[in-house]
Every structure is written in C-alpha cells, then in structure tokens.
Structure 1
Amino acid sequence: MSKCLICKELVVAHFGWTEFLGLGKVKLICAECEAKFEKIVGARCNGCGRECPDSVCPDCKRWENTEYKGVLKYNRSIFHYNSFMKEVLALYKFRGDAVLANIFKDELKKIYSAHFQNLLVVPIPLSEKRLYERGFNQSLLLAQQLDVEIVEGLAKHETGKQSKKGRSDRMAGENHFYVAQPDVIRDKNIVLLDDIYTTGTTSRMAAIRLKDAGAKEISSLTLVRS
C-alpha cells in the first residue's frame, strides 16, 4: 500500500486481474481526497469555461469592451476553486509540494485531448525572483503532465503577488510579460497553461504579448476556475 499524497493516509486500492498482471495504475491519492475535488460540469461560458447558464458570462462580456477584446479564443478549466482545492494549491505552490502535480495528470490529458490537440503548449512563467523563492514553476510542472512538446516562450519581469491583489487591481495592472522566444512562437496556434483562472487577466496579458510577436490564435488551459 502507498500513502495519499495529500492527507498521507494509506491508499486502499482494489486488487483485481489488472493489478495482478501489473497493468493497473498506482493510486496517488485516497478515495476520500479524490471525492473532495469538484469538477466543472454542465453548461459553461463559451469564453472562460466557468459554469454558467448563458453562452457568455458577465466577466467575458466586460473583457470584450477593453483593449483585450478577442485576444484570447477561450479558456477551459477542470476543477472549481472550492475550499479543498484551495488547500491543495497552497500545499503545491506555497509549501513546495511539487509532486502534487502528478495527481492531475489524467485529467489534464483528457481536457487537452478534447480542446487543445496540436497546439503549442506555453506555460505561464514566473519572474526570476519568484522562481528562486518557490523552487519550481507550478505551471511548467502541470504542462509536463501532458507528455507533449512544451516551449517556454514567455518570460516575466518582477511584480507583486497576484494572489494578494483584488479584481480591479489585477485588471488594471501593468503587463509584465515579454516574449522570450519570438522565432518559436511566430505563426503558431498556442495554448497557455496555468494553475488557476481568476479574472482572466494573466492569460490575456500573456496572450497579447504573444499576438504582438506574431502568434496566431491563443487559448488557455487552467487546472482551476475560481
């Protein structure tokens, strides 16, 4: 038996012929923890992918009245930002538990296959200071779960922590992204990969830099939609 990567309790696994023949997958988290993740289901906004009865949510309508109109084709996310996911992301991002990226591999592959095949995968970068503090880029580790080619085509100047900013501050903030590999992203259709979509500011600021450098369509894939 193995221990759950989240709660550290023993993982009780079903043992059948698949497991006996060595073909089964190792369970990384227990059933109790797995059940606490809340997937996004049902009708979604065509833009940001949040659960929404309308085809376009109020947030996306507001974006269409800004300079970022049309810069992001759409976003798709897997999970809601419930209290359990908030705790897991805190363990992952702020307490250095990088191995937690592995528990999302199957779901990331499913959503990538459904919406983003044959697109160039570009993870949202951290500034050099933030990368040094954290020790890893959480978006890059999530992107690596897809087992496809990844291009770190963007870089980022130092800025304050987005998690500490309110909605209006995020949307009005300076764009700190810049294109690090313009020759690689030019004329490409790209999917940005990040851990969480909150206001959509991060994805759009990154997308507009890529567009200005010659990229074609830009979409985004995030683990969580808050």
Structure 2
Amino acid sequence: MLPSRTEAGHLVEAGLWSQNVGLVQLLGLCPLLAVSTGAVNALGMGVATLLALLGTNVAIALIRRLSVNEVRIPAFVMVIAAVVTSIELAMHAFLPELHKVLGIFLPLIVTNCAILGRAEAFASRADPLRAALDALGMGLGFLGVLLLLGLLREGIGQGSVFAGAGALLGLPALELQFSSHRLLIAALPPGAFVLLGLLIAARQRWLQRPQRVHSVGAAPAHPSKQT
C-alpha cells in the first residue's frame, strides 16, 4: 500500500526537523565535527551519507523477510558495507581529489550509528518506498546540518566559503571571499563543538518561542486582589 501524502510528508519532516540526526538524535557526530572544516568537504560527506542511507534502507527493506533475527545485525552491516564501498569506489573514480580530502571518514560511514539505527528501527519494518522516504528525510537533515556547520566554520575561520571547490568537484571556481578577518578557533575542533552547541541551542530556542509568546500574551486567570 502506497503511503499517503500526509504520511510521506511526516516521514520527510521527521528527518529534516523533529528527529534530525545531528541536532536531535546526536548521531554521526564523528564525521559531523571532523569533516565540517569547509563547505565542500561537508557537502561531499553529506551527499555520500545520504546515498548510503538511501541505498541501505531500500536494500534492507527488500530483504527484511529473508533475514532471521539471529543474523539480522550482521546482515545489515554487510549491506551497509557493500553500499558504502560502492559509493567510495565511485567517488574515487569520478572525484579523486574530494575522495583524498575526506580520507578515512568516507569508509567510516559503515560505522555511522545513524545508518545502522535507521536500518534497525525503520527499514527492517517497512516497505521499500517508506524506507526510501525515511532515508531521504534523515539524509537531507544530516546533509543540511553538516553543510551549515561547514559554511559557518569556513566563513568564520577563513573568511570564505567553498574554497577549493573547483579542484575538489571538478567545477569552475566557486570560492567566495568576503572578509579578511578570521577567527581561527572556528576552524579547529573546539570551534566545531561550540558551533554545533549553538545550533542545537538555536533550535531549542525556536521550539520554545511560541510557548513563551503565548504565555506572555495570555491574560491572567485570576486578577490580583487589591489591598
């Protein structure tokens, strides 16, 4: 049975916002913090993770009735490893410079808790179409946080965005230099933790804003007694 438009929208929205991998579930933080030194690196890792999520979710949904409980997790890991290896080989063939920059973090997508978690929690219990929608939402949510963090770290730390995009992606130069003032800590590991914490705090603040406005604008239930 095909998912309704409401159900499909809910699956995608959950990954993008309410159950965002990076801001809510806090999974996959190793590549999120390590690779987000620049926008190009973040974009490459985000797209690779999205493709890995999509491929593994669909594959596991297709074989969910064939795998027994005793070997379920090893079977999932084998599927994830096969998909990630295919993505890594394709990137090595078509984007060798980006593959070199991402280094060990590309094959380490196999150990990303977000991918194995979605395989166990959703794909193994859903049909391929719903599994694909779940992977699309979760992958785009992770890609969005990774890219935003990369833009912030590169912009604040280097005063530019998409530096080296031409060489890494095989495209014309896309670098935008907008400031000569640099805050080096943003490009270092402590800056990644601080900026991610600020993004999480900003999301929480946004969620609490309607409640605060409602409580301030509401009239008191019982007027104060005059003495």
Which TM-score band (shorter chain)?
Answer: under 0.3
Taking structure 1 as the reference length, what is the TM-score of the superposition? 0.24
Name which structure has the greater RCO, CA cutoff 8 Å, separation 6+: 2
Structure with the greater alpha carbon radius of gyration: 2
Q: Which has the higher helix share?
A: 2
Q: Which has the higher strand share?
A: 1
